[in-house]
Amino acid sequence: MRAFAYKLSYQKLLTPEIVLYLTQIHEQKGKQSRFTDAQKDVLEELLEIAKIQSTEASNRIEGIITTDDRLKLIVRNKTTPRSRSEREIAGYRDVLNTIHENYAFIPVRPGMILQLHRDLYRFSGLSIGGSFKNSDNAIAETLPDGTKRVPLQPAAAWETSEAMDSLCTAINEAIADPEMDDLLLIPLFILDFLCIHPFNDGNGRMSRLLTLLLLYRTGYPIGKYISIERLIADSKDSYYEALQASSENWHEGGNDYLPFARYMLGVIIAAYREFSERAEIMIEAGNSKISRIRRLIRSTTGRITKAELMAQCPDISQVTIQRALKELIDSGDILKIGGGRYTSYTWNWDKE
């Protein structure tokens, strides 16, 4: 069975590029901490937006979707799921809330991971929740032409339980080692988790939930306010490329964690930067929804569509966004480009 020598793997990752990434994240973490002490109201709104985006994006990666209106109702627990997809979305919502509210009491252990997986499927009616896989599986990727390929053959079903025991022991020992930066250990754990692929279904969603859990437990709560899952979904091709590159020769212990570590740290940096930008927009706009739309368009380089505005502001209704766009066009602050489904908007810099 594959062994997990995190100290040796960690030392190999300390390239100038990775050290720069870590330094940037540490600096951004300090800025977030100062902000969170002073802007409680803004944080509550960012939290609500992140919950919706995280639930939508993590499930969308796996092809689990519903309408935007239904999604918001499910995330806010204002309706009963109507389909299998909505039941799985509701399960993700509950596990996400559990991690948000109780991360300090959720140790990274096989039994706890099984409980989270059980809750992920609590509404599905399926019996797979809370159990490791009972047959061999594969990480399948759908290519643009619709064909599928298998970039990695995961650990066999018979060795999954032992592999998860070893993996959890290795990450907890590594995090306890003061000589290693916890942040850099998270991509190692997630890559190994995905290579084990311990469940019959739900491995991708569980990997993203465990990423959030580890970030919270090691003092990086950025995923609470900016959706890490959305950033991954928006760069899905890069995610799969990094996963494939870092999983080659995994069974033999000869894989290179660097591509996946670089990708995940890049996502975390992007999340912190977006936090700063979004928080600034909301503060300067005084939390006025129309003012937020105005500020968001002004801060966008090039064009932005109504769909993109709705994705970035899931707490603002489509009607409010349409009204804001009309007001901004009438005032000359923004320009409308194209028409119909191809309509986009850009800031009118000539007016300034």
| Predicted confidence band of residue 38 (pLDDT cuts 50, 70, 90) | low
pTM over 0.75: yes
Q: Are 244 and 73 in contact (CB under 8 A)?
A: no
Percent of the chain with pLDDT over 70: 93
pLDDT digits (tens, 9 = 90+) for 268-280: 999 999 998 887 7
Q: What are phi and psi of 226, to 5 degrees?
A: -130, 130
pLDDT at 285: 54
CA nearest neighbour of 152 among 131, 166, 168, 136: 136
**Ranges 235-239, 285-289, 322-326: which has the least confidence:** 285-289
287 pLDDT exceeds 90?
no
| Predicted confidence band of residue 39 (pLDDT cuts 50, 70, 90) | low
Start and end residues for every CATH 1.10.10.10 domain found in the chain: 289-351
180 pLDDT exceeds 60?
yes
Average pLDDT over residues 159-175: 97
Percent of the chain with pLDDT over 90: 74
**Most distant pair of Cα atoms in the chain: their distance:** 67
For residue 141, what is the DSSP state?
A: E
pLDDT at 301: 86
Could you tell me which residue, 36 or 319, shows the higher pLDDT? Answer: 319
44 pLDDT exceeds 90?
no
pLDDT at 143: 64
pLDDT at 200: 95
Q: Which two tokens stand for residue 246?
A: 């870092």
Q: What's the CA gap between 104 and 296, in Å, rounded?
A: 34
CA nearest neighbour of 45 among 225, 272, 297: 225
**What is 289-351's CATH number?**
1.10.10.10
pLDDT digits (tens, 9 = 90+) for 82-109: 999 999 999 999 999 999 999 999 999 9
Start and end residues for every CATH 1.10.3290.10 domain found in the chain: 6-281
Q: What's the CA gap between 230 and 61, in Å, rounded?
A: 9
257 pLDDT exceeds 60?
yes
The helix/strand/coil state of 304 is strand
Average pLDDT over residues 253-279: 94
238 pLDDT exceeds 80?
yes
pLDDT at 273: 92
Q: What's the CA gap between 352 and 349, in Å, rounded?
A: 6
Q: Are 81 and 90 in contact (CB under 8 A)?
A: yes
pLDDT at 89: 97
Mean pLDDT of the chain: 91
Q: Are 264 and 245 in contact (CB under 8 A)?
A: no
pLDDT digits (tens, 9 = 90+) for 183-198: 999 999 999 999 999 9
pLDDT at 207: 98
Q: Which two tokens stand for residue 72?
A: 């918001």
Question: CATH second-level architecture of 6-281?
Answer: Orthogonal Bundle (1.10)
Residues contacting residue 59 through CB under 8 Å, at least 6 positions apart: 65, 85, 88, 89, 92, 205
pLDDT at 303: 93
